[in-house]
């Protein structure tokens, strides 16, 4: 099973982000001529840990880890606030919307997951954690895209605050039309 741990984006928050997303998408589709593979809003989430291919025999260990890490944190509020890209605007590979205010919760939460999953043989992420919502992945770099990306970074992308109450384990099935995500386990954050 191909798995990842994520925070869901509520429907009302997705609706708030559609305008900025559509503006960025229209601009880069014009400049990039299909160079970006866009993530559909129904698939938006904040990934805390990508597990990759995990044998089914480890499923219960995965849910146990998720529950244990979730119980170390209380519900918190966050919002989506600005546009960004990895690694640089001159050669972007990922276009994203950033998270505000929850970094002091999300970073240690991600570290908890990294450490616990490493104990069952799932490799740590080599890159540092940076909370974000992926809007699109650049598949081929087209002329004129660098300036278009720089221009898009000033696009207003902002949501109201929303509450996070769960950590979610998703199964991802890759298809020619894009990934299909299925929620397979939900762990509640601690109520204190």
Catalytic site residue 45?
yes
Residue-by-residue DSSP string for 131-152 = -EEEEEEESSPPTTHHHHHHHH
Catalytic residue among 45, 71, 82, 130: 45
CB neighbours of residue 166 within 10 Å: 16
Catalytic site residue 132?
yes
Residue with tokens 């660098």: 146
Q: How many angstroms separate the CA atoms of 49 and 112, rounded?
A: 10
Q: How many angstroms separate the CA atoms of 2 and 17, rounded?
A: 28
Compute the residue count for the chain. Answer: 192
Maximum distance among all Cα pairs of the chain, rounded to whole angstroms: 53
Query: Which residues does the annotation mark as catalytic?
Result: 45, 132
């Amino acid at each position: 099973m191909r798995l990842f741990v994520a925070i869901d984006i509520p429907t009302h928050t997705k609706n708030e982000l559609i305008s900025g997303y559509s503006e960025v998408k229209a601009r880069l589709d014009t400049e990039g001529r299909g160079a970006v593979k866009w993530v559909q809003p129904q698939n938006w989430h904040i990934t805390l840990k990508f597990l990759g291919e995990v044998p089914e025999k480890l499923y219960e260990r995965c849910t146990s880890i998720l529950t244990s890490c979730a119980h170390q944190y209380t519900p918190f509020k966050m919002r989506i606030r600005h546009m960004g890209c990895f690694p640089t605007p001159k050669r972007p590979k990922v276009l994203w919307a950033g998270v505000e205010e929850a970094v002091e919760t999300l970073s240690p939460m991600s570290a908890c997951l990294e450490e616990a999953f490493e104990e069952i043989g799932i490799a740590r992420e080599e890159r540092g954690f940076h909370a974000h919502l992926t809007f699109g992945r650049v598949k081929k770099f087209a002329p004129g895209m660098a300036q278009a990306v720089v221009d898009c970074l000033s696009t207003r992308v902002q949501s109201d605050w929303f509450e996070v109450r769960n950590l979610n384990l998703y199964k991802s099935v890759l298809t020619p039309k894009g990934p299909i995500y299925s929620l397979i386990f939900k762990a509640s954050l601690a109520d204190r």
